[in-house]
């Protein structure tokens, strides 16, 4: 990434209309030691669709949370139609006319379409809801869509997903929104629904709405947006007229950076086969997956969010049902359950450490030892003192910052929580580690510890005389996968591609494959 390149494609200062509908200038936000945003500016004119692109963790969602009032920026200012705009909370932002449509819809499934549309601003007379006015307002909001399935008196749960999304947009219109943010709106839509959504977006443009469009699917970005901004590591690294930027150039801006010294790599020696997956299909995703994993090897699974990588790991671990195919762990190939997998020497690190990976109200020691509570006392007793001793070992070895083993995990920082979750696999002494987003949302120091640990495990350390472990890593951060893996396979829409040695791959090629454009280019 060169200087001239960036300056050539960042005419952010050039504002197309006299008063932009939305202007964000020099927004900065840190969480503790982590810099999430560092001086990002965004300017959207009335009737413009502005795409925001970047890898996961680039700062897109933080920027939108600042816009929606969920986060207060540390620095920077915002204007709506020339008026200073500093929402203290999401409700205030909504009232000011900023509407967010997220991937996960936020409708009340038991209420009807019209009740959802007017929710929170029901027209009333003496406390009684005026049903006529409700119907009128809902009809007005739904008028744009020409979507026959959406009857105002139907419960939302009876509608198909694309129609629910339209209801959510209709709700945004009913509150009189001026800025509409669509966060990955097409991730769960079929192609004809995407077309219909784009038709609607163009129609809303005509009415002078400013639309911020966030998506991983760059084809769609090209199709629907007027201008775009690329974020990387919390900064805007480029942007401009969408028509002037080829997809390959956008990807280059998104990926950008060199792999640094962050990723240690010892001499690794692929050994015996420990995990063999043949033609696996789950009830939803994965649709088709085959892979082989050997001792002493780190295999990466790349792909977009929702491609089915997490589901693949969960199928392997017996947490999701398997519809077809075979999983062979060492010499075992019978049915799977988490208990059986642990006994076979397989451990899973969940992507969601708050809700699944850890019982945050329990102590560090309890969380570390939960998968195997044996050997902590005579006749099957579990003596807290011995649990604590085991915990101290990992607290010291992984440098987990906590007061003591009995401290609740909830009191630890994200990076230290993740170390606890990972240490559980070490305490259990597993041979196969399934790691789902092992460094999501943690600071660089903790990331470095985890990278080093993965390398040591694959190389046979830290316990001397120990056989090398096999590691399967899912990550949405390509530099990380390129840095730590020996081979990488890409998953795209539920199908797993072949695993290829990392030296034959580039981030660019992986990104193209992950977005399903490998053949087009």
Structure-block tokens of residue 425: 């696999």
Q: With the C-alpha atoms ordered 24, 218, 351, 461, is the resulting torsion angle positive or negative?
A: negative
Structure-block tokens of residue 386: 């011995």
Structure-block tokens of residue 263: 């990723």
Residue 395 C-beta: closest distance to other proteins, Å: 5
Nearer to other proteins, 242 or 387 (CB): 387
**Closest Cα partner for 28 from 40, 42, 46?**
40
Residue-wise DSSP of 85-115: ---SSHHHHHHHTEEEE-SS----TTSBHHH
Residue 84 C-beta: closest distance to other proteins, Å: 34
Nearer to other proteins, 409 or 499 (CB): 409
* Distances, alpha carbon 132 to alpha carbons 129, 400, 490, in Å: 9, 61, 53
Residue 216 C-beta: closest distance to other proteins, Å: 27
Nearer to other proteins, 15 or 445 (CB): 445
Nearer to other proteins, 206 or 374 (CB): 374
With contacts defined by CB under 8 A, name the span among 44-52, 199-207, 305-313, 389-397 that binds other proteins.
389-397
Residue 356 C-beta: closest distance to other proteins, Å: 4
With contacts defined by CB under 8 A, name the span among 126-134, 157-165, 233-241, 373-381 that binds other proteins.
373-381
The reply to whether 330 sits near other proteins by the rule CB under 8 A is no
Position among 319, 390, 509, 518 found at the interface with other proteins (CB under 8 A): 319
Residue 81 C-beta: closest distance to other proteins, Å: 40
**293 contact partners, CB below 8 Å, separation of at least 6:** 273, 274, 275, 276, 299, 432, 470, 472
Q: With the C-alpha atoms ordered 179, 180, 184, 186, is the resulting torsion angle positive or negative?
A: negative
Residue 390 C-beta: closest distance to other proteins, Å: 13
The reply to whether 381 sits near other proteins by the rule CB under 8 A is yes
**Which stretches does DSSP call E strand in 242-372?**
273-282, 289-294, 297-303, 322-329, 346-349
Residue 381 C-beta: closest distance to other proteins, Å: 5
**The dihedral formed by the CA atoms of 326, 327, 331 and 334, expressed in degrees to the nearest 10:** -70
**Binding-residue total with other proteins (CB under 8 A):** 50
Nearer to other proteins, 421 or 505 (CB): 421
Nearer to other proteins, 57 or 345 (CB): 345
Nearer to other proteins, 368 or 514 (CB): 368
Task: Read off the DSSP letter of residue 398.
Answer: T
The reply to whether 392 sits near other proteins by the rule CB under 8 A is yes
Residue 23 C-beta: closest distance to other proteins, Å: 38
Q: Across the strands, what pairs with 346?
A: 432
**212 contact partners, CB below 8 Å, separation of at least 6:** 22, 42, 44, 50, 51, 52, 64, 67, 179, 180, 181, 182
Question: Binding to other proteins (CB under 8 A): which residues in 334-363?
Answer: 337-343, 348, 350, 355-362
The reply to whether 371 sits near other proteins by the rule CB under 8 A is yes
Question: Binding to other proteins (CB under 8 A): which residues in 395-454?
Answer: 395-399, 402-404, 406-407, 410-411, 424, 449, 452-453
Give the C-alpha separation, 34 to 37, whole Å.
Answer: 9
Nearer to other proteins, 436 or 486 (CB): 436
Residue 149's region, left for phi above 0, alpha for psi from -120 to 50, else beta, is: alpha
Q: Across the strands, what pairs with 75?
A: 28
Position among 39, 334, 375, 462 found at the interface with other proteins (CB under 8 A): 462
- Contact letters for other proteins, residues 3-42 (x by CB under 8 A): ----------------------------------------
- SS3 assignment, position 376: coil
Nearer to other proteins, 9 or 395 (CB): 395
Residue 267 C-beta: closest distance to other proteins, Å: 18
- Residue 2 CA from chain centroid, whole number: 28
Nearer to other proteins, 108 or 411 (CB): 411
Give the C-alpha separation, 168 to 436, whole Å.
Answer: 31
Residue 368 C-beta: closest distance to other proteins, Å: 10
Nearer to other proteins, 4 or 396 (CB): 396
Residue 339 C-beta: closest distance to other proteins, Å: 4
Position among 383, 389, 444, 445 found at the interface with other proteins (CB under 8 A): 383
Nearer to other proteins, 147 or 393 (CB): 393
Task: Read off the DSSP letter of residue 258.
Answer: P
Position among 155, 306, 377, 414 found at the interface with other proteins (CB under 8 A): 377
The reply to whether 321 sits near other proteins by the rule CB under 8 A is no
**514 contact partners, CB below 8 Å, separation of at least 6:** 302, 303, 304, 307, 490, 491, 492
**The dihedral formed by the CA atoms of 31, 32, 36 and 39, expressed in degrees to the nearest 10:** 100
Q: Which residues bind other proteins (CB under 8 A)?
A: 317, 319, 337-343, 348, 350, 355-362, 366-367, 370-371, 373-374, 377, 380-384, 392, 395-399, 402-404, 406-407, 410-411, 424, 449, 452-453, 456, 462
């Amino acid at each position: 990434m060169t200087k001239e390149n960036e300056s050539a494609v960042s005419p952010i200062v050039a504002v197309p209309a006299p008063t932009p509908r939305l202007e964000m200038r020099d927004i900065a936000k840190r969480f503790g030691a982590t810099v999430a945003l560092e001086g990002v500016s965004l300017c959207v004119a009335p009737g413009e669709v502005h795409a925001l692109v970047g890898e996961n963790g680039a700062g897109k969602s933080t920027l939108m949370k600042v816009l929606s009032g969920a986060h207060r920026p540390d620095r920077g200012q915002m204007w709506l139609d020339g008026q200073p705009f500093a929402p203290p909370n999401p409700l205030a932002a909504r009232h000011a006319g900023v509407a967010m449509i997220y991937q996960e819809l936020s409708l009340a499934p038991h209420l009807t379409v019209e009740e959802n549309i007017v929710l929170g601003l029901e027209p009333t007379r003496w406390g009684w809801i005026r049903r006529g006015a409700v119907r009128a307002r809902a009809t007005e909001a739904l008028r744009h869509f020409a979507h026959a399935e959406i009857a105002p008196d139907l419960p939302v749960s009876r509608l198909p997903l694309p129609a629910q999304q339209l209801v959510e947009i209709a709700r945004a219109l009913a509150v009189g929104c001026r800025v509409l943010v669509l966060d990955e709106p097409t991730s769960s839509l079929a192609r004809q629904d995407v077309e219909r959504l784009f038709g609607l977006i163009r129609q809303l443009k005509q009415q002078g709405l400013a639309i911020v469009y966030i998506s991983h699917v760059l084809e769609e970005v090209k199709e629907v947006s007027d201008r775009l901004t690329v974020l990387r590591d919390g900064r805007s690294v480029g942007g401009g007229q969408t028509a002037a930027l080829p997809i390959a150039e956008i990807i280059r801006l998104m990926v950008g950076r060199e792999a640094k010294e962050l990723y240690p790599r010892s001499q690794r020696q692929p050994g015996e086969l420990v995990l063999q997956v043949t033609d696996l299909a789950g009830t939803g995703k994965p649709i088709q997956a085959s892979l082989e994993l050997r001792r002493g090897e780190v295999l990466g699974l790349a792909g977009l969010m929702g491609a089915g990588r997490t589901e693949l790991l969960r199928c392997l671990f017996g947490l999701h049902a398997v519809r077809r195919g075979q999983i062979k762990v060492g010499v075992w190939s019978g049915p799977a359950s988490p208990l059986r997998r642990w006994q076979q020497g397989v451990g899973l690190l969940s992507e969601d450490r708050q809700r699944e990976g850890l019982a945050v109200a329990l102590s560090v020691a309890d969380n570390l030892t939960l998968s195997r509570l044996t050997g902590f006392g005579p006749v099957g007793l579990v003596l807290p003192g011995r649990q604590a001793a085991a915990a101290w070992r990992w607290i010291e070895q992984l440098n987990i910052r906590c007061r003591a083993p009995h401290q609740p995990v909830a009191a630890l920082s994200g990076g230290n929580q993740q170390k606890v979750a990972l240490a559980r696999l070490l305490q259990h002494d597993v041979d196969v580690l399934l790691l789902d987003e092992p460094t999501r949302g943690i600071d660089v120091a903790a990331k470095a510890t985890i990278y080093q640990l993965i390398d040591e495990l694959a190389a046979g350390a830290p316990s001397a005389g120990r056989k090398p472990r096999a590691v399967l890593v899912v990550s949405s951060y390509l530099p990380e996968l390129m840095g730590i893996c020996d081979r990488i396979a890409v998953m795209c829409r539920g199908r797993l591609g072949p695993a290829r040695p990392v030296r034959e791959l580039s981030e660019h090629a992986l990104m193209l494959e992950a977005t399903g454009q490998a053949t087009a280019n």
